[in-house]
Amino acid sequence: MGKIKRVGVLTSGGDAPGMNAAIRGVTRTAIYYGLEVIGIRHGYHGMIHDHFVSLKAHSVSDILARGGTILKTARSKEFMEPEGRKQAYENLKKAGVDAVVVIGGDGSLTGARVFCDEYYDIPFIGIPGTIDNDIYGTEYTIGYDTALNTVVEAVDKIRDTAGSHNRLFFIEVMGRDAGFIALKSGIACGAEAILIPEVHGQVDNLKDYLEKGFKRKKSSNIIIVAEGDEEGGAFAIADRVKDDFHDYDVRVSVLGHIQRGGTPSAYDRVSASKLGYAAIEALMDDQKSVMVGFHNSELDYIPFRKVIKLKKKVDPEELQMVEILSI
Ligand code: F6P
């Protein structure tokens, strides 16, 4: 691999609190090594449509504490097509960008992998950025901690009103394909049950639980539902339950995009800074087609190949623990 002189950085897919800290980490580490930095705005869409801006050390001042992403983000359908990737490659060449750091989720890293299989001479390094924490090969993804804290704060508030009225609440949290936010926030909030896409047939168990008459013992029941649950989300499940349990005063709350915003937690800022730094270190070490992540709390490099192919699993013991703790 020739010497890298100019590195591009982009954010892609759903934004996540801490992405700015990662952009700052990438930019300042790259400048430390004497590289020029090009910010690619609007993710892969910007790569295809030439949305390139020069980033200096001061361009990333005062962004560490800000949610969202200063580079903007997008989900690009064009990049899924060979013509789109060809245009992106030509634009990178024209701009003299000889390496790229992609900050994003599963789809974004899949895009990086496909691009690198077609064009070998521009190395890509991935940084896991999604509130969902659903990327194989890393125990943490940027934004997850802040999103979890947002959910916990909201659910605690709902618990107050649920308890005052003896109500059964279904609270829907984000996670189109994964239940990590639901599971961990459910544990943190003492949810009575947690429904996630990874586990099937949970509604029947839920009915058992309600039939056992826990309502008599508990002043509130909080059921956390991941949006990607097989039953179609909190409203659908609430409808099914309402038909069978008229005694329950049921309410639904969908937390929605509030989970993606807000100032990043200290944990997200530190971890995202480390990942940004490590991505440039990886390029300096001639690595390519790898994602920087955390394994046993240490920085680690995982080949795109594995990241894309394998699915991160929820811990079944944690689900069992929720059952035990919610009696
Ligand atoms: O991937 C992150 C995520 O927040 C998912 O949890 C959610 O399903 C999705 O993005 C929502 O995407 P959009 O903002 O495009 O509706």
Nearest CA to ligand 1 atom 3: 14
CA distance 313 to 327: 25
Q: What is the pLDDT of residue 214?
A: 60
Which tokens in the block code for residue 303?
Answer: 């080949």
Superfamily of domain 145-260: Phosphofructokinase domain (3.40.50.460)
| 6-143+264-309 matches 145-260 in fold | yes
Task: Output the pLDDT for position 45.
Answer: 98
Among protein residues, the one with the nearest Cα to ligand 1's atom 8 is: 176
Q: In angstroms, rounded to a whole number, what is the distance separating the alpha carbons of residues 193 and 327?
A: 10
pLDDT at 1: 53
Separation of CA 284 and ligand 1 centre (Å): 33
- C-alpha 79 to ligand 1 mean position (Å): 19
* pLDDT tens readout for residues 107-127: 999 999 999 999 999 999 999
Domain residue spans in the chain? 6-143+264-309, 145-260
Q: How confident is the model at residue 2, as a pLDDT?
A: 59
Rounded Cα distance, 191 and 183, in Å: 9
Instruction: Tell me the C-alpha distance between 172 and 247, whole Å.
Output: 22
Ligand 1 atom nearest the C-alpha of 134 is: 1
Which atom of ligand 1 lies nearest, measured to the CA of 259? 4
Q: What is the pLDDT of residue 216?
A: 62
pLDDT at site 229: 85
Distance 176 CA to ligand 1 centre (A): 7
pLDDT value for 211: 81
- At residue 247, the pLDDT reads 78
The CATH class that applies to domain 6-143+264-309 reads alpha beta
Q: Model-level pTM? A: 0.96
Give the distance (Å) from ligand 1 centre to CA of residue 130: 9
User: Closest residue (by CA) to atom 6 of ligand 1?
Assistant: 175
Active site residues: 132
Q: What is the pLDDT of residue 272?
A: 98
List ligand 1's pocket residues with C-beta within 6 A: 13-14, 105, 130-132, 174-176, 227, 260
Structure confidence at residue 227 (pLDDT)? 96
- 41-80 pLDDT tens trace: 999 999 999 999 999 999 999 999 999 999 999 999 999 9
* Terminal alpha carbon distance of the chain: 59
Question: Which residues in the chain belong to E strands, given as ranges?
Answer: 6-11, 36-40, 52-55, 99-104, 124-128, 168-173, 193-195, 221-226, 250-254, 290-295, 298-303
Q: Which residue's CA is the closest to the ligand 1 atom numbered 13?
A: 14
Position in ligand 1 atom list of the atom nearest CA 105: 1
How many angstroms separate the alpha carbon of residue 273 from the centre of ligand 1?
23
Per-residue pLDDT, 90: 98
Name the stretches of the chain with pLDDT < 70: 1-2, 213-216
